[in-house]
Structure 1
Amino acid sequence: MKPAELTTMQRIGLEMLWATARLFAVMPYWFKYYIVENVLFFLLFYCLRYRMKVVTANLRNSFPEKSEHERRVIRRRFYRTLAELFVDTVNMAHMSPEKARTVIGVKDLEAHTAAVHGRDWIAMTAHFGCWEYCSYWGLYERSQMLVAVYHPLRSVVMERFYRRLRNFDNSMTVAMRDSLRFYLRNREKGVDGKNLVMGLIADQNPPLRPDSHWFRFLNQDTIFFDGGEKLALRCHLPVYFVKMERLQRGRYRMCFEPIYDGEEEVAPNVITERYVRKLEAMIRERPELWMWSHRRWKRKRPHVNG
């Protein structure tokens, strides 16, 4: 689908936003992560109290076994993550390949590149830590093109801004509604002769359908996007869970854990179930890094009579 045209004022706004982001990105690490991040944290947590009720309710429902004090500690640390995520994202406006390798590394790189070399595959990630850094996978495996599947934003200016951030060497963006058609059209020849890696963020809140499958996730009945599973089964693609590990401010390491080999005979919802279990384990290990401000549980499981 052709992107919406920008008006003159929107183009001016986009270029001003991009120039500001580029200027911020070249500032020293200590200024961005120890001055700006601290100021943002203070504003979000103490002044704006951004979606505080949503965060508090999500933590209470997800961790009923934890004390009120433990949940408050997680909440405070989450707002620190939120502030850092803003810095991480804007920092991508001026990112050389050398710099990108410093912000995101890959655990067991040689083993994974050997496993996926010459193949298309699916990477299922989540809103955990700086998930945007996953766009830099193509720097480590030059024979592959990462296709970041995303939901277009309502604001056409912000839509264009984020597309600029996400389109990097060996990386491109495709709207979710177009992702299946895009893959089927390009799977034989790839893009620029490169194999395709379909990157999916699967922990968002999907529309409720009559056939939606409910999973028990963080003590709550939850539905998940199942597009990754459907694509894997239809096209016999291996699926990997992207586990993110935060090393320090603005620095991460990702690890690819196999979920499905592309050949195994599995029952419906098994691939998504495996993703859900790995995601839950990662969240329980470092709960402050997940996006608790999302209204993840707006939809409730219907009661079935009888």
Structure 2
Amino acid sequence: MNKNGTQKKHHFMRLLAGLPLSVLYLLSDLAFVVLYYIIRYRRRLVRENLTCSFPEKGKEEIIRIEKAFYHNLCDVFIEAFKCLNISDEEMLRRVEILNCELPERLASEGKNIFMLLGHCGCWEWYQEVSVRYKNPKKGAEIYKQIENKYFASLMQELRSRWNTTQIEMRQTVRTMLQWNAEGEPFLCGFICDQRPDTKGRDDVTFLNQNTWYLPGAEEIAKKVNAELVYLDAEKTSRGHYRLTFNEMKPNEEEKLSPYPLSRCFWRLLEQNIRRQPEIWLWSHNRWYKWELTE
């Protein structure tokens, strides 16, 4: 697409994002019908993930969660898109953040903070936490580069809405070391429930399944004097969320692992998901069968 066409498309997107969420949710309802009943987007994968994760639940309950998930997925797309044109006042009404005293206390102690979270609710809104606490003043988010240049540019704009520095995943270690050397405490957000591109260096039983992961956040934290905290997410109603900063305290079994804090993250995330399963990203191929490719 040429530059003029891209500008027109972007202008249209901003105008569309200017519609009230109440109107945009009508588009979300329509998208649910198309996604679930017509396109049947990843329905087999979602059903398999839910069935394996909750063997104790009957088919009717699994289907109920499945449909609620697709409704939520459509809402997440709409809410992320709305970041192009949403006021700080509206975000303040829609996102409640508890225990901001935790990052403020850690920053006052001279510690950097790594905020670990999963794909629960509208994670694109959670960068707004950076304006809710007094310290640390510097904040960042780790992201994976998108191949499509237009959508990569659009996502950069969405994610920079609250002056959060965007760090491409491959630049994480170098940037964190540089920031740590500058001596000013910072908070960096890591979405840690993605499937690794390689098999991973550790595995854990998560949602009743063997799950490989990369303990990158914990390893980097050791290099830069960072404390790991967990951001719990709850969807209180449509378009409204409650986020809570939680300390990460490994239990006795987790302390025996080379990566106790990473193990603690998976336990806290599972508790988060079991409390409200429909808000997690079930369409992600999280449990790729690595052993079948070896």
| TM-score normalised to structure 2 length | 0.90
Q: Look up the match of 1:19.
A: 11
Decide whether the 8 Å contact of 1:240 with 1:257 is kept in 2: yes
Give the alignment partner of residue 145 of structure 1, picking from 138, 144, 149.
138
Superimposed CA distance per residue, residues 224-267 of structure 1 (whole angstroms, 9 cap, x where no aligned partner): 23111101222221101110111221111210111169xxx985
Q: CA deviation at 1:188?
A: 3.1
Distance 1:216 1:267, change over 3 A: closer
Give the alignment partner of residue 99 of structure 2, picking from 108, 123, 135.
108
Whether 1:236 aligns to 2:225 is: yes
Superimposed CA distance per residue, residues 127-175 of structure 1 (whole angstroms, 9 cap, x where no aligned partner): 1110111111121125422211011111111111101000123312111
Distance 1:147 1:72, change over 3 A: same
Distance 1:266 1:181, change over 3 A: farther
Map residues 64-143 of structure 1 onto 2, 5 A cutoff: 64-110=55-101, 112-117=103-108, 119-143=111-135
Decide whether the 8 Å contact of 2:202 with 2:214 is kept in 1: no
Q: Look up the match of 2:204.
A: 215
Q: Look up the match of 2:156.
A: 163
Query: 166-175 or 57-66: which moved more?
Result: 166-175
Q: Look up the match of 2:263.
A: 273
Query: 166-175 or 76-85: which moved more?
Result: 166-175
SS class of match (2:181) = coil
Match for 2:65: what amino acid?
A: I
Whether 1:177 aligns to 2:166 is: no
Q: CA deviation at 1:111?
A: 5.2
Q: CA deviation at 1:17?
A: 3.7
Q: Look up the match of 2:185.
A: 195
Q: Look up the match of 2:288.
A: 298
Whole-Å separation in 2 of the counterparts to 1:14 and 1:156: 10
SS class of match (1:27) = coil
Distance 1:171 1:266, change over 3 A: farther
Once the two structures are aligned, what percentage of the paired residues are identical? 27
Give the alignment partner of residue 46 of structure 1, picking from 37, 53, 57.
37
Decide whether the 8 Å contact of 2:180 with 2:224 is kept in 1: no
Decide whether the 8 Å contact of 2:72 with 2:278 is kept in 1: yes
Q: Look up the match of 1:60.
A: 51
Kindly report structure 1 stretches of 4+ aligned residues shifted beyond 4 Å.
none
Q: CA deviation at 1:115?
A: 4.1
Matched residues, number: 288
Whether 1:256 aligns to 2:245 is: yes
Q: Identify unmatched segments of 5+ residues in structure 2.
A: none
Q: Identify unmatched segments of 5+ residues in structure 1.
A: 1-8
Query: 136-145 or 276-285: which moved more?
Result: 136-145
SS class of match (1:214) = strand
Distance 1:272 1:152, change over 3 A: same
Whole-Å separation in 2 of the counterparts to 1:10 and 1:241: 43
SS class of match (1:129) = coil
Whole-Å separation in 1 of the counterparts to 2:2 and 2:222: 41
Decide whether the 8 Å contact of 1:221 with 1:301 is kept in 2: no
Indicate the RMSD between aligned Cα atoms, in angstroms.
Answer: 2.3
SS class of match (2:182) = coil
